[in-house]
């Protein structure tokens, strides 16, 4: 799912994160950029370092669909590059 951030002075224009990320990373990323204290630990990790051009370690990524009319059968993907 493409996701765009516009944070002048905090994210360079055109910055791309090439590695796989997950939607669970969205909450910690927004929380860090907005400087909001964590309401709970959550499962994701902040992608703010990656958006600043800093390296981030690889993390497991999981996706699934049960939408057979398009794909023909259920699909599952688990990727762990760590």
Confidence of residue 3 (pLDDT cuts 50, 70, 90): confident
Rounded average pLDDT over 32-42: 84
Q: How many Å apart are CA 69 and CA 79, to the nearest integer? A: 24
**Mean residue pLDDT across the chain:** 79
Give the residue, 70 or 37, on which the prediction is more confident. Answer: 37
What pLDDT is recorded for position 71? 57
Please state the pTM of the whole predicted model.
0.68
What pLDDT is recorded for position 65? 61
- Distance of alpha carbon 77 from the chain centroid: 16
């Amino acid at each position: 799912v493409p996701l765009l951030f516009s944070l002048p002075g905090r994210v360079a224009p055109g910055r791309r994160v090439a590695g796989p990320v997950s939607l669970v990373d969205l909450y910690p990323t927004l929380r860090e950029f907005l400087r909001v204290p964590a309401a709970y630990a959550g499962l994701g990790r902040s992608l703010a370092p990656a958006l600043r051009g800093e390296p981030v370690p690889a993390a497991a990524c999981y996706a699934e669909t049960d939408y057979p009319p398009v794909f023909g059968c259920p699909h599952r993907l688990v990727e762990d590059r760590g």
